[in-house]
A and B are shown apart, each in its own frame.
Chain A
């Protein structure tokens, strides 16, 4: 991983929520949501690791034959 990627990863995986808010990270996230694909547009496809069996799963395989509900989240 290059230095720029490491920095981007550290900002993404912030350690302190209050500092993230103080630096405007949360407003940047809201902007990112509204800049993301609109309804009717093609959804971006990625391959992710599935917990449990460790399989690589392409999102496009999941929405190929039926609608796919994707909830994003963490502990909170």
Chain B
């Protein structure tokens, strides 16, 4: 399932949302252009759901049956989500008889290698302004002190 949020890089062609109707129209356009076959749920104009789950532009959460958070990642890696799901489901299915499962949590760093060319194409799709503003943002990030 996909939750449509605000536009991370608004531009001339795909602007920021100033009404729910515009947000709906952008979500429909994305479904058509990206060919998203999964159900798309559209967040409210003020981003209530996006705020509650942490505001990152391309994150994935897995919620276990019954409603507890099983996995959260501040960036989406389909391979990572699939690997987690396999482990998560297998651990429950392979429970030794009479054993009581004890839950623990992990926090890990992962690495990704952005496809710069593809991302640049997406920025231009949103509009030349989106590409120029991302360029300026990169300059701002370069000047930020390392944390």
Contacts and interface: CB of A to CB of B under 8 A. Distances in A.
Greatest chain B CB density within 10 A among A18, A28, A37, A63 is at A18
Given A29-B55, A39-B71, 13 more contacts: A13-B7, A18-B133, A32-B51, A38-B105, A39-B106, A50-B40, A51-B4, A71-B60, A72-B61, A73-B5, A75-B7, A75-B126, A76-B122
**What band does the interface of chain B fall in when counting residues whose beta carbon is under 8 Å from A?**
35 or more
23 contacts: A13-B16, A14-B10, A18-B140, A29-B55, A33-B54, A44-B49, A49-B41, A50-B41, A51-B41, A63-B64, A67-B63, A67-B89, A69-B61, A69-B62, A69-B85, A71-B1, A72-B57, A72-B60, A74-B26, A76-B9, A76-B119, A76-B123, A76-B130
B8 A74 contact: yes
A38 B69 contact: yes
Contacts of B123: 76
Contacts of B83: none
Interface of A: 5, 8-9, 12-19, 21-22, 26, 28-30, 32-46, 48-52, 57, 59-60, 62-76
Given A22-B140, A68-B63, A36 B10 contact: no
Nearest to A5: B46
B126 to A, nearest CB: 6
B44 to A, nearest CB: 8
Nearest to B81: A69
B107 to A, nearest CB: 8
A53 B20 CA distance: 16
A16 to B, nearest CB: 6
A71 B49 CA distance: 12
A30 B60 contact: no
B3 A51 contact: no
Given A13-B6, A15-B16, A42-B68, A62 B105 contact: no
